[in-house]
Amino acid sequence: MASDVRQLSLFGRLRSAMPNWQRDTEVPGVQLYDRALLAAVLSLIGFGFVMVMSASMPEAQTLTGNPFYFMTRHVGYLVGCLAIAAFVLRVEMQTWQRWSPMLLLIVGLMLLAVLVVGTTVNGATRWLSIGPIRIQVAEVAKFAFAIYMAGYLVRRHQEVRENAKGFYKPIAVFAIYAVLILMQPDLGTVVVLFVGTVGLLFLAGARLLDFFALIFAGVLAFVALVLLEPYRMRRVTSFMDPWQDPFGSGYQLTQSLMAYGRGDWFGQGLGNSIQKLEYLPEAHTDFIFAVIGEELGFIGIIAVLSVLLFVALRSIRLGNLCLAMDKPFEGYLGYAIGIWVCFQTVVNVGASIGMLPTKGLTLPFISYGGSSLWVMTAAAMMLLRIDYERRMTLVQAVQGRLK
């Protein structure tokens, strides 16, 4: 390690002689991981713990008699995050690439198992109980499908760009996943998977004809799914004008809008939300952002969104750097995670402010829920691992020039 440090001290002298992709990577010394990204993720997780504690106490008191019930469970989820982080950071990216088809198959079998032996909550069968642990497999499916798509684009990149067959193969896999997830039912996860798939195919250079045909088919499928299920139709119509039925189909959204209205610029203060006192359903999960708006105001909202945007942009930038260094699997995976974080944030926030229909998607890193928190932690740690391997490649390049 000491020799590595001495070698790296000469990095500045070699910087001007390096290609552009090496000069733009900003590796000034021995920093071999993205500290800013790590700090952003840890701050979001820590902030999420505080907000879950604040938003969940009234409901926990009513349901269990213990106001710290959800907070205690969230601490257990955080312990799980440490174990997941330790595992993901140790696994090399080539291992994920090699096992991506098998991972996709295992998660697909888990989705089948959910339909047979899954646990039902609020009319939806989305959870698989493994001992004391209950996993929402649809969350894991996002992670597995992102890895699969990155691996597929590496193996079939030329075919995707030049042949419709290469373009529609991953769409067929997506369709299988979509059917299994819709049977739970969970339309929100299907939409996230679809956007991630379309985004990656577009970035990989797919033909525009195939791309627009897929977009058109996706929109038609979404409209059909909404029209075929009365509860989905109610969600769509209620978000357009929630005040038509403020105590029925529009109740959740009207209460959320009241929370934002009370927040004003600087909020009512941490812990001082009124809407979380069982006026706003799912205050600590799907609608936690409304509680953030009420307690911390517009300034708090902008701060949280800024950190989430930083994580998404950092992920996409990492994808660019990896592709420039001829690391396509890592590059496409970085793109996939960036699109995932960004789009899921947009849907969660958009639903809580009435710009989008309610989809039941969590706010990344912040909302209560073990499966979501664990999967997002795994995705973030994978970004750190990608960046670590990228920087190690730079260090080895510098050392090679010095020999």
More confident residue, 271 or 92: 92
258's CB contacts (< 8 A; 6+ apart) are 275, 279
- Measured distance CA(149)–CA(200) in Å, rounded: 8
| 292 has a pLDDT exceeding 60 | yes
Given pLDDT bands bounded at 50, 70 and 90, which one contains residue 2?
A: very low
- Measured distance CA(375)–CA(287) in Å, rounded: 19
pLDDT value of position 225: 75
pLDDT value of position 112: 92
Give the least confident one: 133-147, 208-222, 271-285, 337-351: 208-222
| 78 has a pLDDT exceeding 80 | yes
| Average pLDDT over every residue of 295-300 | 92
Given pLDDT bands bounded at 50, 70 and 90, which one contains residue 159?
A: confident
Amino acid sitting at position 62: T
pTM of full prediction above 0.85: yes
Structure tokens at 29: 């010394």
SS3 assignment, position 371: helix
65, 71, 74, 76 alpha-carbon torsion, rounded to 10°: -80
- Measured distance CA(143)–CA(122) in Å, rounded: 25
Given pLDDT bands bounded at 50, 70 and 90, which one contains residue 238?
A: low
| 219 has a pLDDT exceeding 90 | no
- Measured distance CA(36)–CA(348) in Å, rounded: 24
pLDDT value of position 11: 39
Structure tokens at 254: 């009207």
pLDDT value of position 94: 92
Given pLDDT bands bounded at 50, 70 and 90, which one contains residue 235?
A: low
pLDDT value of position 5: 39
| 167 has a pLDDT exceeding 90 | no
Give the best-scoring range by mean pLDDT among 69-73, 229-233, 251-255, 352-356. 69-73
| 222 has a pLDDT exceeding 90 | no
Given pLDDT bands bounded at 50, 70 and 90, which one contains residue 377?
A: very high
More confident residue, 131 or 155: 155
| Average pLDDT over every residue of 63-90 | 92
Q: Percent of the chain beyond pLDDT 70?
A: 87
Paired sense of beta strands 124-130 and 133-136, if any: antiparallel
More confident residue, 344 or 125: 344
Give the least confident one: 205-219, 280-294, 374-388: 205-219
| Average pLDDT over every residue of 337-345 | 94
Arithmetic mean of pLDDT over the chain: 83
Given pLDDT bands bounded at 50, 70 and 90, which one contains residue 6?
A: very low
| 273 has a pLDDT exceeding 90 | no
pLDDT value of position 122: 67
- What are the strands of the beta sheet with 133-136, ordered from one edge? 119-121, 124-130, 133-136
Give the least confident one: 6-15, 93-102, 320-329, 378-387: 6-15
| Average pLDDT over every residue of 116-131 | 76
